[in-house]
Amino acid sequence: MAATIKDVAKKAGVSISTVSRVINDSKPVSSEIRKRVLEVIEELEYKPNEVARSLVTKKSYLIGVIVTDLGDSYVAEMVRGIEEVGKMYDYDILLCSTFGDKEAELKYLRLLNTKQVEGIILISNTLNNELHEKTKQLRIPFVYLNRFYYQDYPTVKIDNFEASYEMTNYLIGLGHKDIAYISNNGDKFYLEKDKLEGYKKAISEHEDCEEIIYFSKDRDIEDGYDVARDIIGFNKEVTAIFCSYDELAIGVLNYLYDNDIKVPDEISVTGFGDIKIASIFRPTLTTIKEPFYDIGAVAIRRIIKELKGEIADNSDIILPFQIQKRGSSIKIK
Amino acid sequence: MAATIKDVAKKAGVSISTVSRVINDSKPVSSEIRKRVLEVIEELEYKPNEVARSLVTKKSYLIGVIVTDLGDSYVAEMVRGIEEVGKMYDYDILLCSTFGDKEAELKYLRLLNTKQVEGIILISNTLNNELHEKTKQLRIPFVYLNRFYYQDYPTVKIDNFEASYEMTNYLIGLGHKDIAYISNNGDKFYLEKDKLEGYKKAISEHEDCEEIIYFSKDRDIEDGYDVARDIIGFNKEVTAIFCSYDELAIGVLNYLYDNDIKVPDEISVTGFGDIKIASIFRPTLTTIKEPFYDIGAVAIRRIIKELKGEIADNSDIILPFQIQKRGSSIKIK
DNA sequence: TTGAAAGCGATACCAG
DNA sequence: CTGGTATCGCTTTCAA
């Protein structure tokens, strides 16, 4: 068995209170005794049992992180941010993956609560209305991260409208007039709505441009592939395709590659997100960089602040984005 | 404050022992009392405090997972496997990322220990000799996963020699004779050694083939890019390039793309690993599928078995691999 | 079948 | 500055 505080106390000939004091240096201890205790600790390789400690202090130094799927690079990126910043404040990450199952979101919310996590970050990709009551009950700091939907919880994100507006203007600036936009869904709860509006606004500000909007079935690579076929088939004059998600853009690039259509020479393609593959793929993808790492980092930062009792209003945090200009877009000839 | 077992006991008019019995059904409780207790639990929304429970049972239902970087898709994949199987046995994952820092590996080993994790899985990408003594001290199940080096701990992997041998034979079967192999390093502790041997053996068994071995500086995409330049520059007759890691292969494909060399028409390229991007990239990459998810799954399975006292010898577990034939390789004309 | 009481390993308050 | 002791929330003997 591992040594306990009692073992140390006995061997050092002091009380457990004293041992506790030296390991936490919570109260003054004579340097003589401190030294002896430290020696015994060394000797016994004593390490305080954090579980016991948690029980009395009510601090677990654990943050629960519920994610959809680490297999999505943007999720992994957020978790990196969460973890790295968490560690700076001695917080550890308890990880749960839902694989898109709403039931699981609720289940893990409960589970993490029994494990006494001090805060919870949920990275979701669906809409979940049952969430509300559960999160209220918990009474622990909670941040909701969702790249697709908008729901009424504290969150961290970029200004999707503005980003989309800028990207469209960037393409217009390159001389493109027939810019197709691949949207996923413009309904109420979708962040996509903002993006779509951004595109529309930019287009409407330029007389020689017209809205060309296509809707994809979903937002995976295959969906981009399918829409690309439609666009190319029906709309020969399109010179640029702006996709509301990088995943769609990759699908578009794949379709164009398979059909020997040169990017960017014949057609420019841009995405949204800057997921990992965007800079690796050939051609490299021009896209809007959503700072996933920072989003995670800021999310946990917010939780820790709240834990420390520092003011934390319920407002969303908006992070800056960037237009990453890469090989898939070019000035029109 | 959340309700405790005492609150439940008081409200139900029974002792806490009884409450404990019903929530664990560890001992018979009259159905009448059970019902009442259950009602109160419902009413108070009582959820047992797992921390307190851990303290007495010595079971935290926590497995520590130390990884290099979730940003590497294969790591994320392993963690998925670990977590999904872990959950089946009610285990949760405590995640720590080292970003390649050896010191951090040791540090987190200690940390996880104080957090009373019941087992540890380390996903590493370096050699770490100081590990040995630390892991022995812990006396908890430990599995070591490393895609690059071999170190003397229980691990889960594929037969790298055999995989490399098969892939080389596959290319030979396609009619290729001048097959370049990009190795990272053939030294003692490198798994790479086995791969290199596999390639050599296959080549040696075919009279009209000759070893063409290039060494990359490291094993990232850029390194593959650099080596490709060398190969193309110095070895015009090469018709196939077999890379010891998918990352290198992606670099090679990028170089060929940038220099207008058609894959697979002019040259075939194959990789090793089947990381996520391999099947997305164009052309899709022919490669050896290392079952990362399964490796993680089996690793935690092993730990849980050991925890249950089921026999667990110290031998490595070898998982099957597969040759994924995709678009980057073709029969020679 | 039930309850009382002893711990699990630490912290923290109260005396001295 | 140091020690004794209650306590955190729960499980687990031991008696009844």
CA atom of A169 to C1′ atom of D10, Å: 62
Q: In this structure, are A124 and A215 located in the same domain? A: no
Strand D contact nucleotides, protein CB < 7 Å = 1-5, 7-13
CA atom of B299 to C1′ atom of C10, Å: 33
Which structure tokens are listed for A249? 């853009």
Average the pLDDT over A98-124 and give the result.
96
Nearest to A76 among B54, B70, B281 (CB): B70
Per DSSP bridges, beta strands B92-97 and A92-97 are antiparallel
Q: In this structure, are B84 and B199 located in the same domain? A: no
pLDDT, position B226: 96
Q: What distance in Å separates the CA atoms of residue B191 and residue A136, rounded to the nearest whole number?
A: 51
Q: What distance in Å separates the CA atoms of residue B118 and residue B304, rounded to the nearest whole number?
A: 9
B332 in a structural domain: no
B213 in a structural domain: yes
Look up the pTM and report it.
Answer: 0.95
Q: What distance in Å separates the CA atoms of residue A128 and residue A102, rounded to the nearest whole number?
A: 7
CB spacing of A79 vs B95 below 8 angstroms: yes
A330 in a structural domain: no
Q: In this structure, are B274 and B233 located in the same domain? A: yes
Q: In this structure, are A125 and A191 located in the same domain? A: no
A177 in a structural domain: yes
Q: In this structure, are B83 and B137 located in the same domain? A: yes
Q: What is the CATH number of the domain that holds B241?
A: 3.40.50.2300
Model pLDDT for residues A230-257, shown as the tens digit of each residue: 999 998 899 999 999 999 999 999 999 9
CB spacing of A70 vs B71 below 8 angstroms: no
Q: Which residues are bridge partners to B206 per DSSP? A: none
| B 209-268 near A (Cβ less than 8 A) | 221, 250, 253-254, 257-258
Q: What distance in Å separates the CA atoms of residue A320 and residue A298, rounded to the nearest whole number?
A: 12
Q: What distance in Å separates the CA atoms of residue A326 and residue A283, rounded to the nearest whole number?
A: 8
**Which residue carries 């009395």 as its tokens?**
A56
How many domains does the structure of chain B reveal?
3
- Last residue within a domain, chosen from A289, A309, A327: A289
Q: What distance in Å separates the CA atoms of residue A26 and residue A57, rounded to the nearest whole number?
A: 13
Q: What is the CATH number of the domain that holds B31?
A: 1.10.260.40
A328 in a structural domain: no
Q: What distance in Å separates the CA atoms of residue B232 and residue B234, rounded to the nearest whole number?
A: 6
Q: In this structure, are A114 and A263 located in the same domain? A: no
Question: pLDDT per position in chain B (333 positions), as tens?
Answer: 789 999 999 999 999 999 999 999 888 889 999 999 999 999 999 999 999 999 999 999 999 999 999 999 999 999 999 999 999 999 999 999 999 899 999 999 999 999 999 999 999 999 998 988 888 888 899 999 999 999 989 999 999 999 999 999 999 999 999 999 999 876 767 889 999 999 999 999 999 999 999 999 999 999 999 999 999 999 889 999 999 999 999 999 999 999 999 999 999 999 999 999 999 999 999 999 999 999 999 999 999 999 998 877 788 999 999 999 999 999 987
Q: In this structure, are B268 and B178 located in the same domain? A: yes
Q: In this structure, are A283 and A165 located in the same domain? A: yes
Residue B282: name the closest of B294, B269, B272 by CA: B269
B12 in a structural domain: yes
Model pLDDT for residues B26-80, shown as the tens digit of each residue: 888 899 999 999 999 999 999 999 999 999 999 999 999 999 999 999 999 999 9
Which structure tokens are listed for B58? 């010595």
Which domain covers residue B276, as residue numbers? 160-289
Residue B287: name the closest of B123, B166, B110, B206 by CA: B166
Nearest to A221 among B55, B80, B280 (CB): B280
CA atom of A17 to C1′ atom of D6, Å: 13
Q: What distance in Å separates the CA atoms of residue A306 and residue A300, rounded to the nearest whole number?
A: 10
A241 in a structural domain: yes
pLDDT, position A314: 81
